[in-house]
Structure 1
């Protein structure tokens, strides 16, 4: 089968189309014929060798996909060949391939009416946003939430989930165009952080909240922005840190959050699943919302599998909006 592999760490050009043996599903596994695979920042970090959890080479990337069941291993029930599915994590060799063997515990049937390209962009970003807002931050109707990097895959998911919960949403992004676009998914305010750099972004959130600060700040940026997030949250608020795309350390002053009795949560999906979290119930609920038209999964660009390097180059420009997807079937 066709796959895209890296044999050395580096830039997008190390992503190389290759022919590899077809995987065989073992006990408890499902063989998925990949139609589309989502491209994530974790993929780019793993490719560059800067991901915090090193993986050995050679390596086929890919954390999420949509497709059809090609075969099932011993002991698998409820999933039959030909079924349309979404899958996330634990794939052999990885989802940048035409076929992938995945633990059945990471596979969810795809509801009718959901486009496979949109489905391929759901498992990582949407489960992340859902878990962070509902399970960690425990966002409630009437609260105010700031979504940093609101034009990203996680950001657009978070804006919609928070708005559907009944929260007031401030969508923050690094240009007026991206902030305004993200606000179109249900946010009440758009915050262009290029116009309000550094401390000015903190002051703007305080102004928008009448000086109280936000109840929840969802931070997918890290670096200096995480320190700002701590200052943007109000008394008794919650900050959830889920990424560091800035790739810089954060200088934190504990006085920015402990006098407010604020709490700080860390989130990393792979580790959470490894420690027992079953993403399937949440993913089923999200997929039902997409099927019903409650949520939209914006896909900005699709690339053929053998052009994965172009997809990574676009991702790393940080100019994209929503999700980037690879198509594995001609």
Structure 2
């Protein structure tokens, strides 16, 4: 089969198309024939050797995919060959490949009507947004939710999930074009932070909430933005931190959150699953929403598997709106 391998850490050019032996589904595993693989910032960090967990080389990256069941291993029931599925994590070798063997606990059947390119974007960005908002922040109808970096994959998912739950959504991004685009997914307020200092960004959120602050802030940026998130939150609010794309430390004043009884939640999907979380029920609910037209998964660009280098180069421009995917031809 064809796959994309990393033999040394570096820029997008280290993503090398290669021929590899086909993987085999072992006991409890499903062999997935990949139709589309999601491209994520974690993939880029792994490729550059900057991921928070060391990964030995050589390796085939890829954290999520959609395709069909090619074969099942011993002990796997309910997933017949030919079944459309999405899959995530713990794949052998990784999802930047034509075939991947995946534990059956990481494979979810897809309802009819979902494009594989859209489905490939659900297991990471959409599941992260869903878990952070519903399981950690426990958003309720009528609450105000601030979504930072609202034009990102997680951001556009979070805007839709929060709006569908009945929350008032304030979308922030670093350009008028990006916040305008995010508003098209259901945000009620759009805040362009490109020309604002940290203090000004905080004041704008307070103004938009009548001085009360937000009930929930979803921080997908990290660095200085995390400190702002704490100040943008109102009494008994919740801040969920799930990324640090700023790749910078956060300096926090505890007086910005403890007098308000603010709760701070950290989220990291891989660690959550390793500690027993079963993603299948939540992923099934998300997929049902996509199939019903409740949610839209914007795909900005798709590249052939052999051009993973171009996909990563576009991702690292940090100007994408929606998902970038790799596609595999039959």
**TM exceeding 0.5:** yes
Query: Counterpart of 2:207?
Result: 207
Mapped to 1, the partners of 2:124 and 2:48 lie a distance apart of: 20
Mapped to 2, the partners of 1:9 and 1:235 lie a distance apart of: 45
Q: For residues 257-296 of structure 1, what are the structure 2 equivalents within 5 Å? A: 257-296=257-296
Q: For residues 63-74 of structure 1, what are the structure 2 equivalents within 5 Å? A: 63-74=63-74
Q: Equivalent residue of 2:32, what SS?
A: strand
Alpha-carbon shift at residue 195 of structure 1 (Å): 2.9
Q: For residues 152-167 of structure 1, what are the structure 2 equivalents within 5 Å? A: 152-167=152-167
Alpha-carbon shift at residue 196 of structure 1 (Å): 2.4
Extract unaligned runs of 5+ from structure 1: none
Mapped to 1, the partners of 2:195 and 2:165 lie a distance apart of: 29
Query: Counterpart of 1:183?
Result: 183
1:261-312: per-residue Cα shift (whole Å, max 9, x none)? 0010000000000000000000000000000000000000000001101111
Q: For residues 1-330 of structure 1, what are the structure 2 equivalents within 5 Å? A: 1-330=1-330
Mapped to 1, the partners of 2:137 and 2:307 lie a distance apart of: 38
Mapped to 2, the partners of 1:90 and 1:45 lie a distance apart of: 17
Mapped to 2, the partners of 1:112 and 1:316 lie a distance apart of: 33
Q: Equivalent residue of 2:154, what SS?
A: helix
Q: Equivalent residue of 1:101, what SS?
A: strand
Q: Equivalent residue of 2:78, what SS?
A: coil
Alpha-carbon shift at residue 171 of structure 1 (Å): 0.6
Extract unaligned runs of 5+ from structure 2: none
Q: Alignment RMSD, CA only?
A: 0.6
1:148-198: per-residue Cα shift (whole Å, max 9, x none)? 010011000000000000000001111110111011100000111103232
Alpha-carbon shift at residue 22 of structure 1 (Å): 0.4
Alpha-carbon shift at residue 322 of structure 1 (Å): 1.0
- Structure 1 segments of 4 or more deviating over 6 A? none
Maintained 8 Å contact 1:96/1:328:
no
Q: Equivalent residue of 2:255, what SS?
A: helix
1:209-263: per-residue Cα shift (whole Å, max 9, x none)? 0000000000010011111111111110000000000001111111111111001
How many residues are matched? 330
Mapped to 1, the partners of 2:191 and 2:59 lie a distance apart of: 39
Q: Equivalent residue of 1:60, what SS?
A: coil
Maintained 8 Å contact 1:34/1:329:
no
